[in-house]
Amino acid sequence: MAEFSDRANAIQPTGVRKMFDLAGQDAIHLGLGEPDFQPPSVAIDAFHEAMKAGHNKYTTTAGLHALREAIAGIWQQYEPNLTADSVCMTMSGTNALLTTYLAFLSEGDNILIPDPCFPLYGPHAVISGAEPRFYPCTFENEFVPTVEDLEALVDDRTKAVVFNFPSNPTGATITPRERDELLEFARRNDLWVITDEVYDRIIYDRPHVSFLGAGYDNVVMVQSFSKTFAMTGWRMGYILSPNAEVVKQMTKLQYYITACSTDAMQYGVLAAIQRAPDYPSEMRDAFRRRRDLICERLNGMPGVSCHVPEGAFYVFPKVAVPGWSSVDIALEILKDGVVCSPGSAFGAAGEGHLRFAYTIDVEKISEAMDIVEGVLTRIKHLPPPEQSAAF
């Protein structure tokens, strides 16, 4: 058979997806990062109306002007000079991320990526011909990187650094002082900053801290409506930068990747922004109740310690069962009917953790936590697997 490319051979399905595929029909799902809400009904209606009105065509690559203007308006609180021209619509945050990498990375370059992280960050670097270099975000440091760890990875082929707050998988956020130190690091090393802020509206106890408007122009924000308006299946996102040259380059590339975003759906998203602006906060309040419950339950279990996350809808507890890897533990929990993700699915530094996405109602979370507690209590007394399961 003819051969596949090195880049196709080099990447593997993620551990999150593998757990999902192994789950039985009745399993309780705390695996995938997908809100259990539907998009606001005004958005669904507007999408429908737009199709009926004939918006079923190609749009400009950057997308609907009114939508880009509305998006710029949202972010002007951080960066007042943003305009519609600061935004290019994409078909998801995933698409925005890959386009951004392709704009900044040449063959042989490297890019700094958090560990643990959203599992696409590393493979996207490989697809772009670059080397992913992982900086640790440790439990002990509340999952915030240190500048020393970042500095240690930089060389003359380091082009960009990815930051993701609130974080998937840890739920970590940062303070303005920590953000400023990270930007200072980027400035000193002349790096592009790619800031993934797709969870900016799911934040609990303090205002969101953005990398926009903090005095550094070589910054690109990757965004998505998947989490903000529960539109995972719509595949709508965007790239935003205060730097006009950056948006121009990205829009040029985006043309060759998807030509444009979906026509009618852009009207649906615009309706959500304009007519359901409080929808994300309502979802966030529901997530807060779940977060409080799941953290309390996890922290009461043997060998488990869990920070109470300040953002996103994930908890990333340390789960210590001597001799058992995070994959072994996740598989054992799965046998009893609960899907979670092994920490190692998010990078080497995730080993020793599990990720639970609290995207189900509190009754189901309680039921799932009873099961998890039962499994952890049981396996403590069992000999560890002779050979750890590999993912």
> Site residues (CB under 6 A) for ligand PLP?
33, 92-94, 118, 164, 168, 196, 198, 224, 226, 232, 237
Cβ proximity to ligand PLP: between 59 and 168 the closer is 168
Cβ proximity to ligand PLP: between 357 and 376 the closer is 357
Q: How far is the CB of 250 from ligand PLP (least distance, A)?
A: 16
Cβ proximity to ligand PLP: between 198 and 240 the closer is 198
Pairwise CA distance, residues 376 & 369, whole Å = 10
Q: How far is the CB of 54 from ligand PLP (least distance, A)?
A: 27
Cβ proximity to ligand PLP: between 17 and 248 the closer is 17
Cβ proximity to ligand PLP: between 313 and 324 the closer is 313
Cβ proximity to ligand PLP: between 29 and 297 the closer is 29
Q: How far is the CB of 198 from ligand PLP (least distance, A)?
A: 4
Q: How far is the CB of 168 from ligand PLP (least distance, A)?
A: 3
Cβ proximity to ligand PLP: between 99 and 326 the closer is 99
Q: How far is the CB of 355 from ligand PLP (least distance, A)?
A: 11
Q: How far is the CB of 164 from ligand PLP (least distance, A)?
A: 5
Q: How far is the CB of 143 from ligand PLP (least distance, A)?
A: 13
Q: How far is the CB of 224 from ligand PLP (least distance, A)?
A: 3
Residue 53 contacts by C-beta under 8 Å, 6 or more apart in sequence? none
Cβ proximity to ligand PLP: between 306 and 357 the closer is 357
Three-state SS letters, the chain: CCCCCHHHHHCCCCHHHHHHHHCCCCCEECCCCCCCCCCCHHHHHHHHHHHHCCCCCCCCCCCCHHHHHHHHHHHCCCCCCCCHHHEEEECCHHHHHHHHHHHHCCCCCEEEEEECCCCCHHHHHHHCCCEEEEEECCHHHCCCCCHHHHHCCCCCCEEEEEECCCCCCCCCCCCHHHHHHHHHHHHHCCCEEEEECCCCCCECCCCCCCCCCCCCCCEEEEEECCCCCCCHHHCCEEEECCCHHHHHHHHHHHHHHHCCCCHHHHHHHHHHHHHCCCHHHHHHHHHHHHHHHHHHHHHCCCCEECCCCCECCEECCEECCCCCCHHHHHHHHHHCCEECEEHHHHCHHHCCEEEEECCCCHHHHHHHHHHHHHHHHHHCCCCCCCCCCCC
